[in-house]
């Protein structure tokens, strides 16, 4: 087999039109790379490959590489088969007869390649991950997804399999993945190579390895674990301060308040409009005296009316286009977008953010539109510092978060938190608090978000949240929304971050002549007296839970065990746990089952092995299925016996 060679700790394979390299990159992890140009390209993207001892054995018709519990068999045909503890978990499937064509490539006019890799389908497999998308699916087996970012869809190309392995698709190109019954196929339209990592082990072992391979999140600071208050939008400095003052006067702890978009003078100027926000420094000082931090919205959009536009354009700090104008998004006029993949852009924009926000006491940034949002979605027309949009389109939010992280670290903030609408593999190490985008205010949406959040939790990104109440379509005067906001808030208490936000239907005339007017109020007291009492109690519960949450945030930083996680994460041997997308563990000791349907006042809950204590009445329940009642002012949570957190309820 002269076309298979052992080169140190790597194995190289050649055939007509392809060069393959297998490399151990972590304990129980092997990296596969295939180069259709037949020359090695050492590009890691966001991967942080390590080293691990490997045992390589050569046979007449194949070679094996064993790294910990994981073994890969490379056959002389080019086929690869992966096994964990001797059990086959992943096997390539040929596209053509006679075991030919295990990877398929087509050369593009750009000089890049379209590529796809196909594995055999497994009827006995469940798959989880891929970031967040409102698909309504918890188990992703049988689904197909685009590999791209859009509003309310964040692609993190990693899946965990119930067979005991993780699969990291280390390629930021736009494409798609099929997790079908007959095959699993990963495809991209423009790339220089195929690149993926297989990790063998339990959910906890794979999560720990994924953290090492993509980066560890910081420890979330205390100020970020309480209530975040936001709405679309506070139009003036006085509007925002009035809300913060009422929280203080009501005796309700408020950790963060948010100034949303169009507080600025122009898109791309990164500063408050002095006509409506006359003294930012005085505002932040008053907020800080009340124990409240300020976060401000930042968009990547910029147009020629901005004082920064021509400098940024002339210094190639904007995303360029292969065809036509560089204006790729229309919102109050056509907008260009900053090229966050360019280190010079990141330094320039941070300078503006520091001067106008951070130096005036702003504590955190909210990176909206972080995909970035473009219309039409012609990724092949985008030209960035890191490459063409169709080749590296998924990587943009990674560098966008790095912009804030590096900047905050440069001014002495050790653990910055940046709320961001999108993320990619490794974004967690930059303090990215990902939220699920502009989702509808419906019970169906709430159900979808529970499942989406659990899938995101398997992708190495432990900081995740939703707009409590959903973002659009809500009428705060309707009885349906008054019910929804309570159920969603209950869910939010048992999320990594509790953040109340949304665009509420406006009743009455505009308050003032502003470009982007506000909707109806969105504070705890905005949904009726009964709801105010319920929501206030939930805020105080969250306060009591903060030490527990912060303990698990420290674990998330160390091993990226997510605070909110699927049941199988802690009970991988329990088949039932792989089917439960609307019940989950919140840390090691709390089992939470949110109510997600209108009018629902009871729910069947599955308790895994051992005994569990019902948080509301402290009664002990055995393992198995139980029908539990929960009126509108009640929620369903169980706690492990002996856990200190039981005293919080």
Kindly report, residue by residue over 310-366, the tens digit of the pLDDT: 999 999 999 999 999 999 999 999 999 999 999 999 999 999 999 999 999 999 999
Q: What is the DSSP-derived secondary structure letter of residue 201?
A: S
| Nearest one of 184, 157, 178, 176 to 168, comparing CA atoms | 157
* Runs of H (alpha helix) within 290-337: 309-314
Our measurement of the distance from residue 159's CA atom to the centroid of its chain's CA atoms, rounded to an integer in Å, reads 13
Cα 582 versus chain centre, distance? 18
For residues 494 and 563, the answer to whether their CB atoms sit within 8 Å is: no
Q: Which residue among 195, 235, 339, 371 is the active-site one?
A: 371
Cα distance between residue 73 and residue 269, in whole Å: 55
- Active-site residue (options: 368, 390, 570, 589): 368
Q: What pTM did the predictor assign?
A: 0.98
368 is catalytic: yes
Give CA–CA dist 74/71, Å, rounded: 10
Per-residue pLDDT at 96 exceeds 80:
no
Is residue 242 very low, low, confident or very high in pLDDT (cuts 50, 70, 90)? very high
Q: Does 97 have pLDDT greater than 70?
A: no
Round to whole Å and give the CA distance between 301 and 307. 13
Contact status, residue 43 vs residue 33, Cβ threshold 8 Å:
no
Q: Which domains does the chain have, with CATH numbers?
A: 4-201 (2.60.40.1760), 223-296+343-366+415-559 (3.20.20.80), 566-648 (2.60.40.1180)
Task: Convert the pLDDT of each residue in 154-191 to its tens digit.
Answer: 999 999 999 999 999 999 999 999 999 999 999 999 99
- Are 89 and 83 in contact by the 8 Å Cβ rule? The answer is yes
pLDDT at site 99: 55
pLDDT for 511 equals: 81
Indicate the burial class of 93 (C-beta count within 10 angstroms; 0-12, 13-18, 19 or more).
Answer: middle
User: SS3 of 271, please?
Assistant: coil
Name residue, tokens 């304990």.
27
CA distance 463 to 229: 17
Residue 308: Cβ within 10 Å count: 17
Residue 90 · residue 81 · CB < 8 Å: yes
pLDDT 10s digits, 540-592: 999 999 999 999 999 999 988 999 999 999 999 999 999 999 999 999 999 99
Partners of 436 in the β-ladder: none
What is the rounded average pLDDT of the residues 502-511?
92
- Identify whether the C-beta of residue 127 lies closer than 8 Å to the C-beta of residue 32: no
| DSSP per-residue codes, 45-112 | TT--------EEEE-SSEEEEEETTEEEEEETTS-EEEEETTEEEEEB--SSSTT--SEEEEE-TTS-
Six-digit token string for 438 = 């502009």
pLDDT band at 2 (very low <50, low <70, confident <90, very high): confident
CA distance 237 to 290: 16
Residue 444 annotated to the active site: no
425-455 pLDDT tens trace: 999 999 999 999 999 999 999 999 999 999 9
Tokens in use for 462?
Answer: 């432990």
| Positive/negative CA dihedral, 298, 304, 310, 314 | positive
Residues above pLDDT 90, as percent of the chain: 96
> b/e for 130-139, b at 16 or more Cβ within 10 A?
bbbbbbebbb
Class of residue 37 by CB neighbours under 10 A (exposed 0-12, middle 13-18, buried 19+): middle
SS3 sequence, 581-649? CCCEEECCCEEECCCCCCCCCEEEEEECCCCEEECCCCCEECCEEEEEECCCCCCCEEECCCCHHHHHC
Structure tokens at 84: 């964990």
At 491 the pLDDT is: 99
Average pLDDT, the chain: 97
What is the rounded distance in angstroms from the CA atom of residue 115 to the CA atom of residue 123? 25
Res 95: pLDDT: 81
State the pLDDT at residue 1: 66
Average pLDDT, integer, range 7-32: 96
Q: How far is CA 361 from the centre of its chain?
A: 27
Alpha helices in 458-505 (DSSP H): 479-493
| Band (102; pLDDT cuts 50, 70, 90) | confident
**Is residue 475 predicted with pLDDT exceeding 80?**
yes
Local structure of residue 445 (DSSP, 8 states): H
| 438 classed as catalytic | yes
Flag whether pLDDT at 100 surpasses 80. no
Residues 226 and 253 sit within 8 Å (Cβ to Cβ): yes
- Choose among 83, 87, 80, 58: nearest CA to 70: 83
Q: What angle do CA 370, 511, 258 make, to 5 degrees?
A: 35
* Residue 547 phi, psi (nearest 5): -60, -40
d(CA 274, CA 51): 54
CA distance 264 to 241: 17
Residue in 438, 444, 475, 634 annotated catalytic = 438
CA–CA dist 619, 141 (Å, integer): 37
The pLDDT value recorded for residue 560 is: 84
Give the pLDDT band (50/70/90) at residue 98.
low
């Amino acid at each position: 087999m002269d076309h298979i060679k052992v080169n140190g700790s790597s194995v190289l394979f050649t055939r007509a039109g392809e060069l393959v390299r297998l490399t151990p990159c972590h304990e129980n992890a092997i990296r596969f790379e295939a180069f259709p140009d037949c020359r090695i390209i050492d590009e890691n993207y966001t991967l942080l490959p390590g080293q691990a001892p490997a045992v390589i054995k050569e046979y007449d018709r194949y070679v094996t590489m064993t790294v910990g519990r994981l073994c890969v068999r490379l056959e002389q045909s080019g086929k690869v088969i992966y096994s964990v503890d001797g059990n086959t978990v992943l096997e390539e499937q040929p596209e053509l007869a006679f075991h030919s064509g295990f990877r398929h490539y087509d050369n593009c006019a750009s000089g890049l390649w379209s590529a796809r890799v196909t594995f055999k389908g497994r009827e006995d497999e469940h798959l989880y991950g891929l970031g967040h998308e409102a698909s309504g699916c918890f188990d992703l087996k049988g689904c197909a997804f685009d590999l791209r970012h859009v509003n309310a869809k964040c692609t993190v190309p990693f899946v965990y399999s119930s067979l005991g392995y993780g699969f990291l698709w280390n390629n930021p190109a736009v494409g798609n993945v099929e997790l079908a019954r007959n095959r699993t196929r990963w495809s991209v339209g423009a790339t220089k190579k195929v690149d993926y990592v297989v990790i063998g082990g339990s959910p906890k072992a794979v999560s720990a390895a994924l953290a090492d391979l993509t980066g560890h999140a910081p420890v979330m600071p205390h100020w970020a674990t309480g209530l975040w208050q936001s709405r679309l939008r506070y139009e003036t400095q006085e509007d925002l301060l009035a809300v913060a003052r009422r929280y203080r006067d009501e005796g309700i702890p408020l950790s963060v308040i948010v100034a949303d978009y169009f507080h600025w003078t122009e898109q791309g100027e990164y500063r408050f409009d002095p006509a409506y926000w006359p003294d930012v420094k005085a505002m932040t000082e008053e907020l800080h005296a009340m124990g409240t931090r300020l976060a401000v919205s930042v968009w990547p959009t910029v147009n020629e009316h901005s004082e920064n536009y021509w400098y940024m354009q002339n210094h190639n700090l904007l995303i360029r286009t292969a065809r036509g104008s560089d204006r790729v998004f229309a919102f109050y006029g056509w907008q260009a977008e900053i090229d966050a993949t360019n280190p010079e852009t990141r330094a320039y924009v941070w300078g503006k953010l520091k001067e106008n926000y951070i130096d005036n006491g702003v504590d955190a940034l909210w990176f909206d539109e972080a995909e970035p949002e473009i219309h039409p979605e012609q990724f092949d027309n985008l030209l960035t510092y890191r490459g063409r949009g169709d080749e590296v389109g998924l990587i943009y939010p990674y560098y966008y978060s790095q912009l804030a992280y590096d900047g905050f670290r440069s001014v002495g903030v050790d653990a910055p938190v940046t709320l961001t609408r999108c993320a990619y593999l490794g974004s967690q190490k930059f303090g990215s608090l990902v939220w699920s985008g502009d989702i509808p205010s419906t019970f169906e949406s709430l159900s979808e978000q529970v499942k989406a959040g659990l899938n995101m939790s398997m992708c190495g990104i432990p900081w995740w949240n939703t707009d409590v109440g959903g973002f659009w379509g809500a009428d705060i005067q309707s009885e349906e929304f008054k019910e929804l906001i309570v159920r969603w808030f209950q869910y939010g208490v048992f999320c990594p971050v509790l953040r109340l936000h949304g665009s509420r239907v406006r009743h009455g005339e505009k308050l003032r002549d502003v470009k982007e007017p506000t909707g109806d109020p969105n504070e705890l007291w905005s949904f009726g007296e009964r709801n105010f009492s319920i929501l206030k109690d939930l805020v105080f519960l969250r306060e009591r839970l903060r030490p527990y949450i912060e303990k698990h945030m420290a674990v998330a930083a160390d091993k990226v065990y997510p605070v909110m996680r699927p049941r199988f994460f802690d009970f991988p041997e329990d088949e039932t746990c792989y089917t439960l997308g609307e019940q989950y563990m919140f840390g090691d000791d709390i089992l939470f089952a949110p109510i997600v349907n209108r009018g629902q006042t009871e729910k069947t809950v599955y308790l895994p092995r051992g005994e569990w204590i019902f948080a509301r009445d402290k009664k002990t329940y055995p393992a198995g299925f139980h029908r539990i009642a929960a009126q509108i002012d009640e929620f369903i949570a169980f706690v492990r016996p002996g856990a200190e957190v039981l005293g919080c309820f």
